[in-house]
Amino acid sequence: PEEWIEACRTDEIEQEDVIRFDYSERSFAIYRTDRNDYYATDGFCTHGKFHLSEGLVMGNIIECPKHNGRFDVITGQAKRAPVCIDLKTYPVKVEAGKVFIRL
With contact defined as beta carbons under 8 Å apart, do 85 and 48 qualify? no
Q: Of the candidates 4, 26, 48, 93, which one interacts with ligand FES according to CB under 6 A?
A: 48
Q: Which window, 4-12, 30-38, 63-71, 92-100, contacts ligand FES (CB under 6 A)?
A: 63-71
Using the minimum distance from each CB to ligand FES, give the nearer residue, 40 or 87: 87
Residue 91 CB, shortest distance to ligand FES, in Å, is 24
Interface with ligand FES, residue 40, by CB under 6 A? no
Q: What are phi and psi of 16, to 5 degrees?
A: 55, 50
Q: Of the candidates 10, 19, 56, 66, which one interacts with ligand FES according to CB under 6 A?
A: 66
E strands within the chain? 4-9, 17-23, 26-32, 38-42, 56-58, 61-63, 70-72, 78-80, 89-90, 92-95, 98-102
Q: What is the residue type of 94?
A: V
The residue ranges that bind ligand FES (CB under 6 A) are: 45, 47-48, 50, 64, 66-67, 69, 82-83
